Amino acid sequence: DIQMTQSPSSLSASVGDRVTITCRASQGVSNYLAWYQQSPGKVPSLLIYEASTLQSGVPSRFSGSGSGTDFTLTISSLQPEDVATYYCQKYNTAPGTFGQGTKVEIK
């Protein structure tokens, strides 16, 4: 099965900072890559699908890029409400493996 590895596992940044999270697949998944946000105590929600398409209602400061094995989630200007754990997931085939998550905090 394809493994998904995120880095870093956690990060702390200041409000307004640009934040980048990477996700690497052990084999190519084309652009079948989604990103989810899970705020503390909340249910996960979809941020990005097809590697770079923003889900309706998601602020434009979030963006995604990549294809094949290497993907990036970027928050262009970190806001307090972005404190959350972010997960990538590949969905080209089952199993729909998630990355281990990246916890984002405010410095």
Partner 1 sequence: QVQLVESGGGVVQPGTSLRLSCAASGFAFIDYAIHWVRQAPGKGLEWVALISYDGGIKYYVDSVKGRFTISRDNFKNTLFLQMNSLRPEDTAVYYCAKSRGSFPGYLDSWGQGTLVTVSS
Binding residues for partner 1, rule: CB under 8 A, are 1, 32, 34, 36, 38, 43-46, 49-50, 55, 85, 87, 89, 91, 93-101
Count of residues making up the chain? 107
Confirm if 40 and 80 have CB atoms less than 8 A apart: no
Decide whether 17 or 32 has the Cβ nearer to partner 1: 32
What single-letter DSSP state applies at residue 55?
A: P
| Cα–Cα distance for residue pair 87/99, rounded to 1 Å | 6
User: Taking the complex as a whole, how short is the minimal distance between the CB of residue 32 and partner 1, in angstroms?
Assistant: 7
User: Taking the complex as a whole, how short is the minimal distance between the CB of residue 82 and partner 1, in angstroms?
Assistant: 18
